[in-house]
Amino acid sequence: MKTYRDHYFLKAKRERYPARSVYKLKEIDARFHIFRKGMRVLDLGAAPGSWSLGAAAKVGAEGFVLGLDIQDTETSFPDNVRFCREDVFARSPECELLLRETGPFHVVLSDMAPGTTGHRSTDQARSAALCEEALALALASLIKGGSFVVKIFMGPDVPAYAGLLRRHFSAVKSFKPLSSRSESMETFYIARGFKGIISGR
């Protein structure tokens, strides 16, 4: 096992995060300044809960984080986080109501990843489908000027997806955190300055 993998795994244990992925979000925020106190955040693919915990600490008690994931989690969350087991592709009426009641959101996060098969093109295609759904929900849920952070597996679909992000956001950057494993196909797109719904999108 590589040393840096041990470092982030052990650091997460020391700091009581359920997964090392929180450090990717921390690096993204340090670079792009996504969060402020009092913000409302939607976290897609939230289980086991590290990103929701990280976001909750940034937005403070006056902010709010709604985490959704098809998997459940045993993580204990602070009062400014609500976690719901939910299929983002087939949201229940209760989930849609919750989104309306707690939104619109200043930030939408998506750390969603497909169950990997080991077949690179299949995994990339599945990742792209998740990213498309995450973007559709972000466009429907963000306030004007809001931010969207999405994980995607690098592949032939990425340039077109980045172009779509640029249509809807004023600033779009790709970023691979140091805490991402070097062998991972993942990268993150950070889209800021949501322009609002564009007619005919």
Query: Which domains are seen in the chain, by residue range?
Result: 3-194 (3.40.50.150)
Handedness of CA 81, 86, 91, 93 (dihedral sign): negative
Residue 186 · residue 124 · CB < 8 Å: no
Alpha carbon of residue 61 to chain centroid: 20
Q: pTM of the prediction?
A: 0.91
pLDDT recorded at residue 89: 87
Q: Active site includes 176?
A: no
pLDDT (tens digit, 0 to 9) for every residue of the chain, 201 residues total? 444 455 766 676 776 777 778 899 999 999 999 999 999 999 999 999 999 999 999 999 999 999 999 999 999 999 999 999 999 889 999 999 999 999 999 999 999 987 767 788 888 888 999 999 999 999 999 999 999 999 999 989 899 999 999 999 999 999 999 888 777 789 999 999 999 976 543
Catalytic residue among 11, 151, 176, 195: 151
Cα torsion through 72, 76, 81, 87, rounded to 10: 0
